[in-house]
């Protein structure tokens, strides 16, 4: 079949005239540049290979669809290959391009093998989205004997992201281009109570990226930190009071990720996050007192307290039955007081 190559600068009017006069019959293949002019679509990530960790659900899956829609080649990374393949199929059904790789990003050898395979398969890795993460909501009074909470959040939220960055930075620097997007949290700006493990892990990655950015900017490599507000994903499902909170959808969160990849600013966040940073800079003592009131009006969950019913009769249920029984408790958990509802409305986007 013959292929007609068209100049990338051809005007829409000229291209339309060609089509109208049957110069481009359906039997001929049209170049990507011509298709873009025909459709009027912008493909700002065309030619970019974009790695997204935690791409099997939530923000990662939604961002993958957005990246593919913007012309990027999506490289999905997570432990569950079955879930990744489902996202890949959705991307390909929409006309995009995606690849999947199973990897435990908390394991050195697994990450080494992943990066070696990515470079072998795709030549150049242009962008990395560090999206994989975990959240723990538990007051410090309930954490005295739970040091492992801090270890596991740092392992995934901080060390795993740094591990991937360290493996890809030499590759990006050698090629003269790279962009790294770290999905951080509004919590790193607003310091909400009960999130000491989670916020510390995100703040560590924020600080790491700020320091490294000044060292690699001359090599064409940049960083964007996305201070994400509360998003309705499986991560927040165990905290039932969040059902009443205003949240972003995964698709709205994915728009922030896409902007980070296309515009490549230093930081993307919300006015509430910026306000939180400024308030703490100007009046840290006052902010502590306000946050203490939030600590008092938003309770620990039953899960955080370890009070979910694990009675012998429940242990006889099937796994699905136990999950339903546990969910029935969580649904009734954490009723919001009037003060809590007021604070939730006045300070939207913060995960209390």
Catalytic residues: 198
CA distances from 305 to 35, 149, 315 (A): 57, 14, 19
**Burial of residue 205, with CB atoms counted within 10 A of its CB: 0-12 exposed, 13-18 middle, 19 or more buried:** buried
Closest CA to 87 of 108, 68, 103: 68
Q: Tokens 């790279």 map to which residue?
A: 178
- Say if CB 216 and CB 173 are below 8 A apart: yes
Q: Using CA atoms, how far apart are residues 224 and 261, in angstroms rounded to an integer?
A: 8
DSSP β-ladder status, 178-185 and 221-228: parallel
Sign of CA dihedral 268, 100, 247, 197: negative
Q: Tokens 């990849």 map to which residue?
A: 261
Which alpha helices (H) appear in the chain, and where do they start and end?
Answer: 12-20, 32-39, 58-69, 81-93, 108-122, 147-153, 160-175, 187-190, 196-216, 250-263, 271-282, 284-297, 302-305, 312-315, 319-332, 338-346
Q: What residues contact 168, with CB distance under 8 A and at least 6 apart? A: 51, 115, 125, 128, 178, 180
> What kind and span of H or E run contains 183?
strand 178-185
| Residues present in the chain in total | 352
Measured in degrees and rounded to the nearest 5, phi and psi for residue 58 equal: 60, -140
CA distances from 167 to 104, 128, 157, 333 (A): 14, 11, 16, 43
């Amino acid at each position: 079949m013959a292929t007609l190559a068209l100049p990338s600068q051809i005007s829409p009017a000229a291209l339309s005239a060609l089509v109208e006069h049957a110069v481009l019959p359906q039997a001929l293949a049209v170049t990507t540049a011509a298709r873009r002019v025909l459709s009027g679509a912008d493909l700002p990530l065309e030619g970019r290979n974009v790695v997204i960790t935690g791409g099997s659900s939530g923000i990662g899956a939604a961002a993958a669809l957005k990246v593919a829609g913007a012309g990027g080649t999506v490289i999905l990374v997570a432990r569950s290959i079955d879930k990744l393949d489902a996202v890949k199929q959705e991307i390909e059904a929409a006309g995009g391009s995606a690849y999947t790789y199973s990897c435990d990003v908390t394991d050195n050898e697994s990450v080494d093998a992943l990066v070696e395979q990515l470079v072998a398969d795709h030549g150049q890795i242009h962008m990395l989205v560090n999206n994989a993460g975990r959240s723990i909501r538990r007051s410090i009074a309930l954490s005295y004997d739970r040091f492992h909470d801090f270890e596991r959040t740092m392992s995934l939220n901080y060390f795993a992201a740094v591990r991937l960055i360290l493996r890809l930075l030499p590759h990006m620097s050698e090629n003269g281009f790279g962009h790294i997007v770290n999905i951080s949290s509004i919590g790193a700006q607003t310091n909400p109570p009960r999130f000491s493990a989670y916020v510390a892990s995100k703040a560590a990655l924020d600080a790491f990226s700020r320091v490294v950015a000044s060292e690699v900017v001359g090599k064409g490599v940049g960083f964007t930190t996305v201070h994400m507000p509360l998003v309705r994903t499986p991560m927040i499902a165990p905290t039932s009071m969040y059902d009443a909170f205003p949240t972003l959808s995964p698709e709205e969160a994915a728009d922030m990720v896409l902007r980070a990849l296309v515009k490549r600013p230093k930081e993307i966040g919300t006015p509430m996050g910026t306000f939180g940073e400024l308030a703490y800079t100007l009046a840290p003592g006052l902010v502590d007192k306000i946050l203490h009131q939030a600590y008092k009006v938003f309770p620990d969950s039953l899960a955080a307290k370890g009070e979910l019913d694990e009675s012998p009769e429940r242990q006889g249920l099937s796994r699905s039955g136990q999950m339903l029984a546990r969910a029935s408790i969580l649904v009734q958990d954490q009723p919001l007081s009037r003060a809590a509802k007021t604070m939730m409305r006045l300070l939207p986007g913060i995960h209390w």
